[in-house]
Structure 1
Amino acid sequence: MSLRIAFRAAAVVLTTVALGGHTLASGAQAATPSLSAPVPAQTRAATVAADNPFEGIGLSGLHAEQRTMWPAGNPVQYWALVLNTDLAEQEYSGGTFFLYAPATGEFGWFLDTDIPQHTVDAPAQVVIADPGFLKTHPRVEIRYGTPDRPEQARTVATATTRR
């Protein structure tokens, strides 16, 4: 099960980087008349993420926003779910945040900078960039507590797939 989650996380990050690199190369060609001339940083456009992949998912305590990561110094935009401001500003102590699907007992991951993590310590690190995990589970919860005992952890936010 953890191998499948790790593969899914790596696939999302690699796909984002691959798509971003292709778009940047195309934009650089169009922006400069000569392929040998460097493209000034201010003329490089960030990769534009596709439409919101989280549309149609019922969210409580979360919202979708476009973010930018900088793999190899190149901007790549992507959609992510993050905690609402009121939840992100609360004080949390004595646990970690984790993404949990209660119907199957499976754990998801957060994207911390550009590294998939199963748990994060701070509410600002709650960044969900895997719409596939959310769409394949009827209810996914961001919980705070001990991942070893998910049933005892506090549910902070939820995402529900409408079927």
Structure 2
Amino acid sequence: MIRRPALRALTTAVAAAALALTATQAATAATAAAPAVAAAKATQGDDNPFSVMDLDGLRAEYRFMCPAGHCVGYWSLVLTDEVARKRYAGGEFFVYAPAKGDFGFFLDGDIATRTVKKASQVRIVDSEFTRTHPRFEVRYGNPEQPKKARVVATSTIWMR
């Protein structure tokens, strides 16, 4: 059984190691970020996980995120400009698979969240949810009553 002083010492050592690793990664990433970004842009068209989907009101977008100075490129689905410009009031956006009644999530910055308030925050990443639901929808309204919410965009994978 680990005693409290030993546990505190272990926690402090792990935290110090994590901080040192983060600082090292940030310094390394800062010097290598430009070539990594250029390489990712050169290959971005080759690995779009959403290219097999029929999108209505959504479009695939390639973005970069640099948490702790380590840049990674990723694909996501966002609302088309036409859909995003529409007026929305009194509800929230959420991702819903009507066949199973399952909910997905959005990526808001670097945080996964079930709902977002603004159309500009709708960002769906390639995930277990998008791969296991042949049809999902972005809806606007009350997520507690998903069947009554308005469908604003859809993604469908047709059987081959």
**Shared topology, TM-score over 0.5?**
yes
Aligned-pair identity in percent equals: 49
2:76, 2:51 → 1: CA distance? 11
1:57, 1:40 → 2: CA distance? 34
Amino acid paired to 2:102: E
Displacement after TM superposition at 1:106 (Å): 0.3
Which of 1 and 2 has greater Rg?
2
Evaluate the alpha carbon distance shift between residue 52 and residue 151 of structure 1 in structure 2; reply closer, same or farther with a 3 A threshold.
same
Amino acid paired to 2:133: H
Displacement after TM superposition at 1:126 (Å): 0.5
Displacement after TM superposition at 1:102 (Å): 0.2
Displacement after TM superposition at 1:162 (Å): 1.4
Displacement after TM superposition at 1:88 (Å): 0.8
Q: 1:102-159: per-residue Cα shift (whole Å, max 9, x none)?
A: 0000000000011000000000110000243223112100000000000100000000
RMSD, matched Cα: 2.2
Of the three residues 93, 96, 100, the one matched with 1:97 is 93
2:36 aligned with 1:45: yes
1:81, 1:95 → 2: CA distance? 20
Contiguous gaps of at least 5 residues in structure 2: 1-24
Check the 8 A contact 1:109/1:119 in 2, yes or no: yes
Count of aligned residue pairs for this structure pair: 128
Q: TM-score, normalised by structure 2?
A: 0.73
Amino acid paired to 1:162: W
